[in-house]
Amino acid sequence: MKATIVYDNTVYKKGLKADWGFSCLVEGEGAPTILFDTGTNGRILLSNMKKLSIHPSTIDVIFISHYHLDHTGGLAVFLNENTRAKVYVPPSFHSSLDSSGITLKVVRGPVEISNNIYSTGELEGIEQSMAVLTGKGAVLFVGCSHPSMKTILSTASQFGPLYAVIGGLHGFRDYKLFKDLSLICPTHCTQHKAELKRLYPEEYIEGGAGRVIEI
Ligand SMILES: [Zn+2]
Ligand SMILES: [Zn+2]
């Protein structure tokens, strides 16, 4: 599995643009190509994608973690470039996109959305996370981690042993919950990156637009 951070508060690869928001491309052999969240600004999203040689038409699935602008803002502009992608949203997602011919797939409970790709379902009425099952375990993608991390991890662990967490962790401080993870990439809105890096120096991976993580 290969994850490429396309949109982030910071830049990892020179030439890309940083902006508050998150979007990550997830690719795997025999699996659909997924765009996890769409950042805030569609023009920045498409421009960063272009610089990373990612063509919008190659994306099969869009997975929206939650209805906050920094995760959904790029969606409408992206869908101008790709009208065939299936868009998975949590029930709390409100949108006028329904009328534009795009079919939104509303994810309710924990569910397998494609082979080895799972949603936790919307937790605490706000956000879903995505787990990709690999040979090493489940790689968990989180938007902002608005629900408690304990709930996110315990829901996701039903899909397989957790290997990695990638995405925004907001004010997460219950650090011991990560003791069994092998890879931690806290980025976007994560407030306590330095503490995570200090506690998990081997597992910690710096995020930022352009960062590629292969598992
Ligand atoms: Zn949010
Ligand atoms: Zn966010």
Percent of the chain past pLDDT 70, that is, above it, reads 97
Residue-wise pLDDT for 146-156, tens only, equals: 999 999 999 99
User: Which ligand is nearest to the Cα of residue 40, counting in written order?
Assistant: 2
pTM attached to this predicted model: 0.97
Residue-wise pLDDT for 110-150, tens only, equals: 999 999 999 999 999 999 999 999 999 999 999 999 999 99
**CB distance 138 to 163 below 8 Å:** yes
Q: How confident is the model at residue 101, as a pLDDT? A: 67
Expressed in angstroms and rounded, the spacing between residue 1 Cα and the centre of ligand 2 is 23
Expressed in angstroms and rounded, the spacing between residue 167 Cα and the centre of ligand 2 is 9
Domains of the chain as residue ranges with CATH: 2-214 (3.60.15.10)
pLDDT surpassing 60 at residue 92: yes
Q: Is 134 exposed, middle or buried (0-12, 13-18, 19+ CB in 10 A)?
A: middle
User: Which ligand is nearest to the Cα of residue 8, counting in written order?
Assistant: 2
pLDDT surpassing 90 at residue 40: yes
User: Which ligand is nearest to the Cα of residue 20, counting in written order?
Assistant: 2
Pairing of strands 137-142, 34-36: unpaired
Which DSSP helix (H) or strand (E) runs through 156?
helix 149-156
Q: How confident is the model at residue 52, as a pLDDT? A: 98
Expressed in angstroms and rounded, the spacing between residue 120 Cα and the centre of ligand 1 is 16
Expressed in angstroms and rounded, the spacing between residue 68 Cα and the centre of ligand 1 is 5
